[in-house]
Amino acid sequence: MPSLIRNRVKEKLKRGDLTLGAWITIGHPDIAEIMANAGFDWLLFDTEHSPLNIEIVQNQLQAMSNTETVPIIRVAWNDMVLIKRALDIGAYGVVIPWVNNREDAKNAVRYCRYPTEGLRGVGPRRAARYGLDSEYLLRADEEILIVAQIETREAVDNIEDIVSVEGIDATFIGPSDLSASLGLMGQPFHPKVIQAIEKVLDACLSSGVAAGLAYAQTIEELVKFIRMGFRFVGATTDMGLLLGKSMEVLKDIKERLKS
């Protein structure tokens, strides 16, 4: 049976095209299915800071399997076991936290790739359609998107080394953690943070690695970063959409009742 794995996001990033995604933090299949049908290029399932576990995420990946949206998992750590479990349930890519130097980046790639190029254990399960996809093992290394999260002063200082590692497809700046690391807690877009963000962007543009950004505070800010050259961009979150729309509806009702 021919392989079905085809990473449209990785293809677009290689061409230099923009990809827009959304964070998934709420553990219900309907959330993933609805947001995948909305037309995002990718959904990022957050197993680092949300209560999602691997079983819940597998159910959510199954719910979105009939859409064009690419499933990506942010693992909790740069850990071989966590990464292989994420890939084995069918993620087409992983966002890996706390990549601070060249060795961290090299390990991230090793954990995502099968021998002899890497260390990923062979047991893809759902990713290989429970054994029906005979080509998965041959194609996985070239299709899996490997994203290094940049969230510390050390990572920014070492960004040229990180993006020089073969196999790193994109970076993903976390402005909140980066601002904290720079001594600017709660100021994710302080001018000094913007300087660090621009340094990462420049290194990505020079190396051919796609520059990614976890979020912006407004749509106007988001568009500005896209125009700067960011191509792997988090546009919104499930939680943010629910909260924002709920508050908007309540405000609208209350204002209408005043008139």
Helix, strand or coil, per DSSP, at residue 110: helix
Residues in the chain: 259
Residue type, 237: T
Q: What is the 3-state secondary structure (H, E, C) of 171-228?
A: EEECHHHHHHHCCCCCCCCCHHHHHHHHHHHHHHHHHCCECEECCCCCHHHHHHHHHH
DSSP 154: H
Tokens of 132: 């029906």
Measured torsion, CA atoms of residues 230, 234, 236, 238, in degrees rounded to the nearest 10: 170
49 is catalytic: yes
Residue of 37, 46, 49 whose CA lies nearest to 91: 46
Place of tokens 């300087």: 195
8 A C-beta contact, residue 160 and residue 203: yes
Q: How far apart are CA 232 and CA 168, in angstroms?
A: 13
CA dist 13 → 3, 112, 145, 146, 259 (Å): 21, 18, 10, 12, 50
Options 6, 49, 192, 251, the catalytic residue? 49
Catalytic amino acids? 49
